[in-house]
């Protein structure tokens, strides 16, 4: 072993069997402790400077495995801490991906399902008139005549039980996805606004005899909200390779796949393809342009926005009933 002391120590390193000592090296009787190792001596320069700054005696030793920084045993603990601090600054830090921090979404799921089944349940019990569908259905001609409530009231109407069941199951899935990552109140506020915008555009572009209903517009809007919302969360983080970049973009890609598989109708004339397309586009657009992007863990993002989507739906239906 060769040992080049920085300063003459009171106690030094030792030369073991098979170690090599070069010119200028000092044989040391007391074993010194290694606190850093490198393939080249210059790789240990930062450690040497840190030890000098702390007034810690050290030596540079070399054996068959490379170069080492050694210190007296009584200063080993402090020297190891300094070496770890210095070397840690130069090592790549492990990237910690954000974890879900919002609410679980079960409360929103139960509320959304209750809203979807409210009018069919009341009609089945005889507590709501059969004409309730006519009051709230998305009617292109009526909307152009000023029945603005019809951009939101169709979200709570469905043509048959299978349609209602399918949308209910998808609503539960989206609620349990949106809640943990974006916060339920924040996400569903964007979903309802996007669904209203999508229905308005879709009806205004349709012919006078066009009518539509169902929550599918809002569900495709939810895909757009979630996809762009996750991209916004990833924007402050530089993707560490293609895999991490794909991880951030995966929700938006999943929404596009769902839209292609189920949103285009497959030739079924009963499927309102325009509402699905506009819903997905409006969800992405409103999430991208909105100035409020609260942290999901913030209590105001969880609860303070909750009255907005509920108030919009309740107000639309109250307007429809009063206008009937």
Q: What is the pLDDT of residues 3-45, one digit of tens each?
A: 444 443 433 333 333 333 333 334 445 688 888 877 566 667 8
**Mean pLDDT across the chain:** 80
Per-residue model confidence (pLDDT) at position 41: 63
Q: What is the pLDDT of residues 42-97, one digit of tens each?
A: 667 888 888 888 888 888 888 777 788 888 888 888 888 887 777 765 444 445 55
In a domain, 96, yes or no: no
How far from the centroid of its chain's Cα atoms is residue 211's Cα?
A: 36
pLDDT band at 112 (very low <50, low <70, confident <90, very high): very high
In a domain, 101, yes or no: no
* In contact, 15 and 29? CB cutoff 8 Å: no
Q: Per the structure, how many domains does the chain have?
A: 2
Residues 203 and 307 in one domain: yes
Residues 223 and 261 in one domain: yes
Residues 272 and 134 in one domain: yes
In a domain, 237, yes or no: yes
CA distance 68 to 51: 13
CA distance 123 to 164: 14
Instruction: Among 44, 62, 90, identify where a domain stops.
Output: 90
Domain with 147, as residue range(s), is 106-323
pTM above 0.75, yes or no: no
Residue 133, both tokens: 């569908």
Stronger pLDDT, 216 or 24, i.e. the higher one: 216
Residues 133 and 84 in one domain: no
CATH number, domain containing residue 182: 1.20.1540.10
CATH number, domain containing residue 45: 3.30.70
Instruction: Among 31, 55, 90, identify where a domain stops.
Output: 90
In a domain, 62, yes or no: yes
Residues 112 and 226 in one domain: yes
Residues 128 and 265 in one domain: yes
In a domain, 222, yes or no: yes
pLDDT band at 99 (very low <50, low <70, confident <90, very high): low
Those residues whose C-beta lies under 8 Å from the C-beta of residue 291, and which sit 6 or more positions away, are: none
Is 41 exposed, middle or buried (CB count within 10 Å of its CB: 0-12, 13-18, 19+)? middle
In a domain, 95, yes or no: no
Per-residue model confidence (pLDDT) at position 9: 42
Residues 204 and 317 in one domain: yes
Residues 281 and 158 in one domain: yes
């Amino acid at each position: 072993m060769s040992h080049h002391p920085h300063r003459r120590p009171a106690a030094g390193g030792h030369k073991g069997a098979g170690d090599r000592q070069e010119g200028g090296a000092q044989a040391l009787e007391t074993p010194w402790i290694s606190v850093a190792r490198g393939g080249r001596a210059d790789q240990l320069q930062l450690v040497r400077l840190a030890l000098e700054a702390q007034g810690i005696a050290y030596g540079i030793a070399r054996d068959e495995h490379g170069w080492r920084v050694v210190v007296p045993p009584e200063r080993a603990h402090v020297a190891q801490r300094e070496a770890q601090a210095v070397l840690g600054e130069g090592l790549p830090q492990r990237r910690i991906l954000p974890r879900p921090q919002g609410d679980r979404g079960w409360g929103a799921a139960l509320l959304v399902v209750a809203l979807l089944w409210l009018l069919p349940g009341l009609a089945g019990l005889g507590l709501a008139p059969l004409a309730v569908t006519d009051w709230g259905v998305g009617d292109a001609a009526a909307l152009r005549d000023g029945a603005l409530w019809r951009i939101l009231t169709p979200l709570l109407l469905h043509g048959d039980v299978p349609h209602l069941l399918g949308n209910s199951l998808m609503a539960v899935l989206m609620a349990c996805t949106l809640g943990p990552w974006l916060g339920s109140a924040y996400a569903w506020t964007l979903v309802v606004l996007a669904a209203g915008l999508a229905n308005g555009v879709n009806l205004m572009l349709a012919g006078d005899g066009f009518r539509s209903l169902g929550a599918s517009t809002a569900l495709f809007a939810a895909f757009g909200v979630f996809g762009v919302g996750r991209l916004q969360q990833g924007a402050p983080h530089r993707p560490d390779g293609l895999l991490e970049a794909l991880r951030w973009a995966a929700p938006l890609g999943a929404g596009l796949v769902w839209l292609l598989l189920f949103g285009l109708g497959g030739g079924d004339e009963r499927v309102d393809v325009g509402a699905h397309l506009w819903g997905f586009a409006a969800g992405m657009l409103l999430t991208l342009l909105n100035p409020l992007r609260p942290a999901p863990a913030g209590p105001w993002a969880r609860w303070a926005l909750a009255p907005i989507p509920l108030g919009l739906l309740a107000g639309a239906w109250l307007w429809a009933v009063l206008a009937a």
